[in-house]
Chains A and B, each alone.
Chain A
């Protein structure tokens, strides 16, 4: 075969493969993705199926069976809160006041989380949290 033609065929085959793969990528990512919602959005319109909720932990409690219940509040609007029940591993930085991301389903106003989906944001060296200031000796306990 004429080499020019062979090159063209190769190019067409490679491009079609790339287009096919890209289509698969786009298609599966939309079907495999979970919506990310804040507590206010969850309260306004609880979607059916899996959802990723993010917010600040305002209270936490461990149940006798080792599962956890905690409440997350909207980072923008602290009055909007959603209770979460969770089972599985809990990252080290998890505690009240931390920003978390957790995936689950809304059941009767409670987010029933999937096992091991809790992500807690690391407060890094970059964030300056006033509450960590050791110079405030008395104030924050009053």
Chain B
């Protein structure tokens, strides 16, 4: 049964490859001949590929759930003891599985956009279909042809148990972080494909943007969620207390996010004013290339990263794809320059389009800096022959001022009108936010110590300005609505947001991002941190807090082969008990060889002790020092003893049933002996004979990074939510009336 289903899954994957290949060919042929029938056929091929890839994913998920170790993918990334959630999410833990995920998301999103545009953009859609099918073909081909990337690869002989999932990754955030990032990367291929289609068909008005704007926004939302989850996991799970380290793989997800954000803003300028056409097609091509680059960085191992994914077979093909995307789109844009002329010019620097342009330059500038810093090891090696790297402080030096300017312009942009604004109106609009920012600045200088961190101080002031501007926008919108329809303030506010989802959704995104920026500035500038070695009964002071190490705890989980050393610590503020925390450290045995040492040679994870609310986060992680000579000696001698007593002169032959039973007996006896030593270790730990190294951080406002992020994501969803058809008709009637008027005038 299982063999059949795996063969069936593999057949479906091959089927999807064929469907994509046909779709690409039919799309191009239909585009050249302007024959609708071929284009319809290409679209249906995409539907078919999506259906086949759904079967592939379901087949593999079923294999994970029933722990079918005849499949290498399952044997390498799951085990019978893996919790169900992680069995289901182990699929994208592998190279083959994540490529399948890429193709799967691509096929679903492509089906969605091609269905929505089936009666529209007759010239653009054939080429967009061909591009999407080409990408699908690439990823399916990679799975089937590149070594070690086939998710349906068999394992022979079939092992009795799988390798399971790395303990560090047994965290809910890690289960959904990769597919979120991937979905973000993949969804950017939709606007990219339509941009290429529009370039080929020379239909370079804003119609390709209107049809794919929501996909770009969804991609942005997925990417944001992925980045936030990764940062959150790092903060609570990795035991170093940070959420961002300028690591190449982190940067790889930030770059398409930055350029994608710029794209989402500048397309508004093209839609409203017919400008920035070259810029927009360039931005989306760059975003997509950066998304591919993110995948490539994760896979190729060319840069030293905390994410050591190891050498892989798909690096070179991905690099070729990136080169094709960049080369092809550049050539296309250059050849279509005459069709990309702006319909208008920027009339005044005090206009919304001018500020959008500044905001775009800032975002792209940030991306360039991150790119330069990330690839500096390769750049410096190429220039000087020496591989050099840039650390966090270098990134901070450039990113901080640009981030401050970005927040400032986030405040200015929405207040300005399109085209230009009169001086009187500007004064009315900018007066209150400027006054508010001034009050905040004075208050910060008088009542806090933020003057010691000028960067953070300027950031808070700019954020206050932007925030007040946004509040003003909401108030103006709600009062205009109220004047129109009457009713209570909250009702009017709700109504104006619902009526104008794109605009107010955007403002909600801004509010969330400003919150996140403020908390990043606060938590990185005003952190109190200390590393202390303590024995039970010891106390230490960090910031306004006092931490007392009350009691050690120890626990062994036989089923998970896990040893946990923990501690009970009391956190006091001004002498008063705030909270009792239990940070701990888990040691996972590296093998079932039955040595005590194996626990300390395997994976170790931290359970962080955290206490905090809106204001401050008290964070502590602990690490018992097991390299103490007395403890080290206990482990070494007892392991030697276990080996001496419990390994027979002649090992039984595991290929015979009798031999297997004998092996099992040996393993059990060793496990019992090991248990006794571990009990001794536990007792010594609970006696307080093992010192513990604590890392203690007091991070102000850190929780607002994720609250702000969540607000931004909600705002994004509001902006992406479809407008009801009745309202859309009303809007287009207004446009039609306006157009008629303009035409009459001309």
Contacts and interface: CB of A to CB of B under 8 A. Distances in A.
Do A and B belong to a common assembly? Answer: yes
B168 A92 contact: yes
Interface string A105-122: 000000000000101111
A79 interface: no
Residue of B240, B380, B605 with most partner-chain A CB within 10 A: B240
Nearest to A51: B388
A133 to B, nearest CB: 7
B389 A92 contact: no
Contacts of B397: 28, 32
B591 A132 contact: yes
A97 B304 CA distance: 16
A135 B667 CA distance: 12
B372 A29 contact: yes
Interface string A61-93: 110011000000000000000000001111111
Interface residues of A, number: 55
A29 B390 contact: yes
Contact of B394 (A32, A125, A132): A32
Contacts of A131: 590-591
A91 B240 contact: yes
Given A62-B625, A138-B593, A140-B593, A132 B387 contact: no
A33 to B, nearest CB: 4
29 contacts: A25-B368, A25-B369, A28-B394, A29-B380, A32-B394, A33-B389, A35-B388, A52-B388, A61-B627, A65-B533, A89-B241, A91-B238, A91-B240, A92-B239, A92-B604, A121-B306, A122-B307, A124-B166, A124-B310, A127-B310, A133-B591, A134-B161, A136-B591, A136-B593, A137-B667, A139-B593, A141-B591, A141-B593, A142-B647
Contact of B305 (A91, A121, A141): A121
Interface in B375-400: 376-377, 380, 386-391, 393-394, 397-398
B169 interface: yes
B405 interface: no
Interface of B: 76-77, 79, 90, 93-95, 159-161, 163-166, 168-169, 237-241, 245, 247, 304-310, 312, 345, 365, 368-369, 372-373, 376-377, 380, 386-391, 393-394, 397-398, 531, 533, 590-595, 598, 600-606, 623, 625, 627-628, 639, 643, 647, 651, 654, 663, 666-667, 691, 693, 695
A66 B594 contact: no
A34 B389 contact: yes
A34 B391 contact: yes
Query: Which 9 residue pairs across A and B have the least CB separation, nearest first?
Result: A125-B93, A121-B308, A33-B388, A141-B593, A66-B533, A126-B309, A62-B627, A92-B239, A127-B310
Nearest to A54: B304
Contacts of A61: 627
A90 B623 contact: yes
Given A32-B393, A93-B168, A95-B601, A126 B95 contact: yes
A125 B394 CA distance: 31
A98 B661 CA distance: 35
B627 A60 contact: yes
Contact of A125 (B169, B247, B595, B625): B169
A42 interface: no
Given A32-B393, A32-B394, A33-B376, A122 B306 contact: yes
A25 B531 contact: no
B163 A132 contact: yes
A138 B376 contact: no
Given A28-B394, A29-B372, A95-B601, A35 B308 contact: no
